Amino acid sequence: MSITITPVANERMRHFLAGSPAAAGVRFGVKRTGCSGFAYVVDLADTVGDGDQMVEVDGLPLIINDSSVALVEGVVIDFQRQGLNASFVFHNPNATGACGCGESFTVS
């Protein structure tokens, strides 16, 4: 599993984990949604389930469900601020297209 987390995204995720010491890690994956098919999910995970893989990226525990693994392989996770907005940004080598608003992506 090859996922890269930029230092600023790593810091942001660690900030969320520090506020929830009982969390098992950061859940990262995709869900079916949007006009293009898939959207990213980043949330705190309370547990690691049977259908999950736990990987450590630069000391940060990431929990990825088995159905997302192939879709997030090689992803670079960044965190950017633009004016009053702040969000995680994903650079996915598997994505072959995205919707106009950038909220969802497709794979071939």
Domain boundaries, the chain: 4-107
In the block, which residue shows the tokens 């525990």?
Answer: 61
Q: Report, as an integer, the average pLDDT of 77-83.
A: 92
Query: pLDDT digit string (tens) for 45-76?
Result: 999 999 999 999 999 999 999 999 988 999 99
Q: What are the residues facing 21 on neighbouring strands?
A: none
pLDDT at 93: 87
Answer whether residue 83 shows pLDDT above 80. Answer: yes
Least confident piece of the model among 35-44, 46-55, 90-99: 90-99
60-65 and 25-33 strand pairing: parallel
Question: Token digits for 76?
Answer: 């670079």
Give yes or no for a contact between 64 and 72, defined as CB atoms under 8 angstroms apart: yes
Residue-level pLDDT at 36: 63
DSSP state of 1: -
CATH 3.40.50.720 fits 4-107, yes or no: no
What b/e sequence results for 53-86 when a residue is b if at least 16 CB atoms lie within 10 Å of its CB, and e otherwise?
Answer: eeeebeebbbbbbeebbebbeebebbbeeeeeee
